[in-house]
Amino acid sequence: MKIYFAGSIKGGRNNQDSYEMIVHELKKYGKVLTEHVADKSLTDKGEMGVTDKYIFQRDTKWLRECDVLIAEITTPSLGVGYEIGYVETLKKPILCLYRKIDGKSPSAMISGNPSVKISSYNELAEIQKILSKYFISFVSN
């Protein structure tokens, strides 16, 4: 299974620890196309040595190739929102995770969207259970 993991880059790297945990867990279920999104050394300045055009073409190709999109949406990101919309038009499954912080909640364009499944967590340790439950139902459907 090819998994596209989406997480904020230019939007801010405050939740990078969650991205790392999610990618660690996702590797149990398939090939993560976008492991670099969770990389601690990647800052909100982005990847060094590659152009924006290259990133757009590579990432949209991966979005067309993937079997599922898993997005961490706690830190709002234009890029992640775009990726969710792009995959929705391809009718692929989408799971969004967000961490309950300071009473903030995701955009209504995500939480009100019937094509998107959303799960919230308080602690990083909960991520493992959320993903295992999701992929068990994914395989049985």
Q: How far apart are CA 41 and CA 16, in angstroms?
A: 10
Q: Which of 2, 10, 61, 64 binds ligand 6K6 (CB under 6 A)?
A: 10
Question: Going residue by residue from 27 to 66, which x/- string records binding to ligand 6K6, judged by CB under 6 A?
Answer: -------x--x--------xx--x-x--x---x-------
Q: How far is the CB of 140 from ligand 6K6 (least distance, A)?
A: 28
What is the crossing angle of helices 16-26 and 127-140, to 10°? 40
Amino acid identity of residue 119, one-letter, is S
What does the block give as tokens for 134? Answer: 């999701």
- Give the nearer residue to ligand 6K6 in terms of CB position, either 34 or 135: 34
Measured CA to CA, the distance from residue 116 to residue 125 in angstroms comes to 23
Stretch that binds ligand 6K6, among 4-12, 101-109, 113-121, 122-130 (CB under 6 A): 4-12
Give the binding-site size for ligand 6K6 (rule: CB under 6 A). Answer: 19
| CB 43 to ligand 6K6: min, Å | 9
Q: What distance in Å separates the CA atoms of residue 122 and residue 50, rounded to the nearest whole number?
A: 35
Q: Which of 91, 109, 123, 96 is nearest to 6 (CA)?
A: 96
76-95: contacts with ligand 6K6 (CB under 6 A): 77-80, 83
Is residue 6 part of the contact set for ligand 6K6 (CB under 6 A)? yes
The rounded distance, in Å, linking the Cα atoms of 88 and 112 is 14
